[in-house]
Chain A
Amino acid sequence: MRLRFAGLVLAVGAVLVVSPGMRAQTAPPSGAASAKGVPRTPDGKPDLSGIWYARGRPGDLGYRRFMADDPPLQPEALKLFQYNREGVTDPSESGLDERDPSNFCYPVGATRIYTIPRPVEIRQLPGLTLLLSEWDHTVRRIYTDGREHPDGFPLVWEGHSIGKWDGDTFVVDTTSLRPETWVDAIGTPHSDALHIVERFRRVDRDTLEIDVLFEDPKAYTKPWGGKKVFEWKPDWEILGHANCEDHLQMGKPRASSPY
């Protein structure tokens, strides 16, 4: 946290220094561009910041899933996967609504947002990268201040994420994920042992690739995953959305006053 705060203070200085120049040139706010058109942050790293939207259409085979084959599942997880897809023969189709946790207002989790037609915004700050999904206004805080996963961190919907740069690739490591969610739209289950490694690469100005690797010895026979490709949408705004907002009803108290 100390490092993160230090990073923040330094960064604000950097932004202040950069901003008059940006105004003068009316350049995009993400900094100087490299030869391939990929903007870079003041520390020289590729700037992934922007609004991104998955390439393709929901009917494409690769849209709702991370790979064309079904994932390598342990017997229990396989049973659950088959239950989630009971009667579904088209591999490009989603899992069944009536077996879908998000259909019953469960948060969508860390990676399923890559397999639905909703944009994701990335904001790369010093010490912290934010991954903000339009769907249910989810926030993933990816710490880049050098911290590790804390011991005893509770299971949460978005998990605990830390990020490091491997050359021009941003590598994000995530643990502590609640097991009630699907990792994709086709209904792939996971356990609380799930460990996700995501590799983000902005291959050109308009294209972001995310290689996702799932490791979960309780649910999968071996690590698996795939690549998702996103298009830059500089003119888009992230809109407000809350999961299940259509079902909100006064007089159906669901909570007691917590404070």
Chain B
Amino acid sequence: MRERFYGLIVATGAWLALLPAIAAQTARPQVIPNLSGVWDNTHIDVRKGGPSEGPPGGFFGPGDIPLFGFTKEEPAMWPAAAEKYKRARTGVVRGPWDRGIGELDPANSCFPHGAIRLYTIPRPWELRQLPEMALFLYEADHWVRRAYLDGRGHPEGYPITWMGHSIGKYTGDTLVVDTVGMSEKTWLDTMGHPHSDALHVVERFRRLDRDTLQIDLTFDDPQTYTKPWIGKKIFKLAPRGFDILEEVLCEEWLEMGKKR
């Protein structure tokens, strides 16, 4: 079965190689990198076996990147944001790379995580590339994000939403996604970094090898951070049979007669 799997990968490679010839009569054929798959880091810990300190997979993921954040370097914040972040970090018990404290965590009060923070929780997510959009399907709270690849821009007056508005394009082997309009009610990451509605994120998705996806992120939020800063996440391809399951935030608190 393993041979067959590799065979198929080679077949895809062959299509990629053939593509320029097939498209020879059309101008500037675009070779679209195959980034689709279920991306996850929690299965790595399962493979290692044994208990880990802290969250599944430990406090650091592939590339020695904090599980709950995007970088070990502290971005420079304006004073109000720095104060807010300090409050979110005061009282953490599992060390400097622990998640922000629960009482101030919007997700603990059933707020959606938001598009970017979803990379910093131990749950798999799936990327599906369609001709006109990239679909992001997160296991956490069954969130869906659409990055439009049809050349449209960010619409004027688009409402502020949990996922924001995303547009993207392919540049060489990289999918570049540009996102604005994300609600400031969320944390940027699970460490508790704040952000405003002015946040603008550029994500660059690149497959380093068959099993490895790297996302380079640029965060630009002049209301919160003194200058743009960068982060990185590395995800591993989930093994076959590792399906995205259904998860609903706060479902254990559902009760007839009680709204949130």
Q: A interface vs B, CB < 8 Å?
A: 1-2, 5-6, 8-10, 12-13, 15-24, 29, 98, 101, 103-107, 123, 125, 130, 132, 137-139, 141, 156-158, 180, 237-240, 242, 244-245, 247-257, 259
Contact = CB atoms under 8 A, between A and B. Distances in A.
A104 B258 contact: yes
B106 to A, nearest CB: 7
Contact of B253 (A101, A251, A255): A255
28 contacts: A1-B241, A2-B241, A8-B36, A10-B8, A16-B16, A19-B131, A20-B19, A20-B29, A22-B131, A101-B256, A103-B259, A104-B256, A105-B260, A106-B254, A107-B248, A130-B137, A137-B144, A139-B137, A157-B248, A238-B144, A244-B259, A248-B109, A252-B260, A254-B110, A254-B253, A255-B107, A256-B108, A259-B55
B48 interface: no
Given A1-B240, A2-B1, A257-B99, 10 more contacts: A1-B242, A9-B8, A104-B256, A130-B128, A130-B135, A244-B259, A251-B103, A254-B250, A257-B102, A257-B105
Contact of B23 (A6, A10, A20, A247): A20
B210 to A, nearest CB: 11
B12 A9 contact: yes
Contact of B11 (A9, A132, A253): A9
A180 B240 CA distance: 32
Contacts of B241: 1-2
B243 interface: yes
Contacts of B130: 15, 29, 123, 125
Contacts of A16: 15-16, 19, 31-32
B246 A12 contact: no
Contact of A5 (B5, B128, B260): B5
A259 B100 CA distance: 11
A139 to B, nearest CB: 5
Given A5-B5, A138-B142, A240-B162, A255 B110 contact: yes
Contacts of B226: none
Interface string B11-34: 110011011001101100111101
Given A158-B246, A247-B259, A248-B111, A259 B56 contact: yes
A225 B193 CA distance: 50
B198 interface: no
B138 to A, nearest CB: 9
Contacts of A157: 246, 248
Contacts of A254: 108-110, 250, 253, 260
A238 B249 contact: no
A17 B15 contact: yes
B53 interface: no
Contacts of B16: 16
B11 to A, nearest CB: 7
B254 A12 contact: no
Nearest to A25: B26
Given A251-B109, A255-B253, A244 B5 contact: no
B259 A105 contact: yes
A252 B258 CA distance: 13
Contacts of A248: 109-111, 185, 260
Contacts of B32: 15-16, 19
B136 to A, nearest CB: 11
Given A107-B248, A255-B253, A259-B121, A9 B111 contact: no
A237 B246 CA distance: 24
